[in-house]
Amino acid sequence: MKSVLFESGVAAKAMGLVPSIVFGGVMTIATVFGISKLNPKLKTMDLTKYE
């Protein structure tokens, strides 16, 4: 957990607080979009059968 806090602090110091928050949100959405394009079966996967 400390490394995540350190990394966030470094990003905020380097880019500024608001740009680092926006960048983090954009990268999160881009990651989800990229994974959904690389593996479309995840969209239709039924997790209830694994309970």
Token pair 């059968």 is found at: 49
Question: What are the extents of the domains in the chain?
Answer: 7-38
The per-residue pLDDT for 1 is 60
Tokens matching residue 31: 């990651």
Q: What is d(CA 45, CA 51) in angstroms, rounded to the nearest whole number?
A: 13
Q: What pLDDT, on the 0 to 100 scale, is given for residue 29?
A: 97
Query: Which residue carries 């479309």 as its tokens?
Result: 40
Over the stretch 6-44, which tens digit does the pLDDT of each residue have? 777 888 889 998 998 899 899 999 999 999 999 989 888
pLDDT, position 2: 64
